[in-house]
Amino acid sequence: MGRSRGGLTTKIHAVVDAEGRPIRIALTPGQVHDGTAAEELLTKVKPGATLLADKAYDSNAIREQAQEQDVWANIPPKSNRKGSFVFSAFLYRYRNLVERFFNKLKQFRGIATRYDKNPGNFLAAIKLVSARIWLRSYESAA
């Protein structure tokens, strides 16, 4: 947990598949930059995949890691970025799958209000809810 002016905070980082189901999840303290969790989350991304991320993940290190793993990084450049990169606004629209995943997580009161103060217990609760999201996706497909 991180401490900020608003109190104790935590960020949830997630990698989801094309159906909006979680693949990998990580927690960081609230004051830590988003890019710090990206290295760990991207280690298991399959070659040939497309990485859709927001501007917070626009860094040379993340782009280089994606290139090394043969993953195309479709990340909008920050306003202060020098140089340009290929960016598809059409594909970027599908990043809402991650936002939908977070909205599904927040339907569970224990996750939305962060009842668990222990980060390990909180991450376990998130993974339990993620398993339920996976099961619901199979129910709706059948």
Task: Please give the chain's pLDDT, 142 residues, in tens.
Answer: 445 555 567 888 999 998 889 999 999 887 888 888 888 888 888 899 999 988 888 888 999 999 999 999 999 988 888 877 888 889 989 999 999 999 999 998 888 887 777 888 889 999 999 999 999 888 776 6
Alpha carbon distance 65, 71 (integer Å) = 8
**Tokens standing for 44?**
């298991």
Alpha carbon distance 110, 108 (integer Å) = 6
Q: What is the CATH number of domain 2-141?
A: 3.30.420
**The model's pTM:** 0.82
Widest CA span in the chain: 48
| Residue spans per domain, the chain | 2-141
